[in-house]
Amino acid sequence: MRAELLDWYDAHGRSLPWRETSDPYAIWVSEVMCQQTRVDTAIPYYHRFLERFPTAQALADASEDDVLAAWSGLGYYRRARMLHAGVKEMVASYGGELPRDPAARLALPGVGRYTAGALGSIAFGLPEPIVDGNVARVLSRVFRIETMLGKAATEKALWAHAEELVQGPRPGDFNQALMELGALVCTPKSPSCGACPWAERCEAREAGIQETLPVPRKKKKPTEVSLTAVVATRGRGAAREVFLTKREEGELFAGLWMVPMVESPPTQLELGERGASSGGDEALRCLHEHGLRATIGDRCGSVIHVLSHRRYSVQVYRATAAKAAAKSAVTRHRIDALAELGVARLTEKIVDAALPGER
């Protein structure tokens, strides 16, 4: 099975930038970026990130704002914060060299079993297994694992098969081949079984159930969250400044800059234009809770932002001539300099709704 998959990989594997380096740091960056992000989307971010932070030392020395700004647009910002924390620990404890010892790698912030195995096998050529979404799908079908993803029995079986298969020559290439097979051939829908090197060995294909495996986790409907946001500004033209607040540790969007927002009753937000008066009350409350004074204008519109577990409906207001109280945590930033901050995509949408074309 190993030989069949490696032969297929040698013939069909994509040429990706992180496959052309042996630098453990660069490989680490790629692995984190490709978690929950399509490869084609990650590639330009990977290049820009390494141009800005070419070494582990450079990333460790960077501020969190700089790191999140470089990550802006990729989403799932906790990945960037944990990568930053892990690299800082690697620099502090290991002189910037990724430890070969698996336990030491696992002890680094943000490094779980998958990342540790990917780094060990790809960077060091160690026979360490990996299981990500693509690998889970391939193994579930090949070995006909019919229990639900996320269940202890399923995870145990997946990792046991991955552990057995990775033993042998070229473990890093083998792990990448497994992921590649899931990405290109053994896809979630309409898998290309005729192009699969393991087609004749696939127990799910033999039973005709390849498209029903793996058994997915039960998905929860995203929680509906209704917000009122105020884009408070000061100044005009190129000198216009917008007031932002940095989300604290433990909060959603932690470490990112956001416009002032408050949670509002859903019934209010459903009123739309008819609710302008009471919506203005919500905007006033938002300013008050963030220590701001300003002249509130009309509602600028609404923004919908969907995460895996939450669906945000945001009513957007603009306020001018804003001024922050002495003890307010809200600070001013030039509208044309937001790209230099770690700004959430939700913030970008809100600012664009209030100040179209100015960001």
> Active-site positions?
31
Q: Is 344 helix (H, G, I), strand (E, B) or coil?
A: coil
How many C-alpha atoms does 35 have within 13 Å on its Cβ side?
A: 21
Contact indicator for 71, 65 with CB cutoff of 8 Å: no
Contact 287, 266 (CB under 8 A): no
Q: Tell me the backbone φ, ψ of residue 248, rounded to 5 degrees.
A: -85, 165
Helices in the chain by DSSP H: which ranges?
2-12, 24-33, 39-52, 56-61, 64-71, 78-94, 102-106, 113-124, 133-142, 152-166, 171-184, 203-207, 266-269, 276-289, 345-354
Q: Are 30 and 18 in contact (CB under 8 A)?
A: yes
DSSP-assigned states of every residue in 17-55: GGGG---HHHHHHHHHHTTTS-HHHHHHHHHHHHHHS-S
**Token representation of residue 73:** 């647009």
Rg (CA), the chain: 24
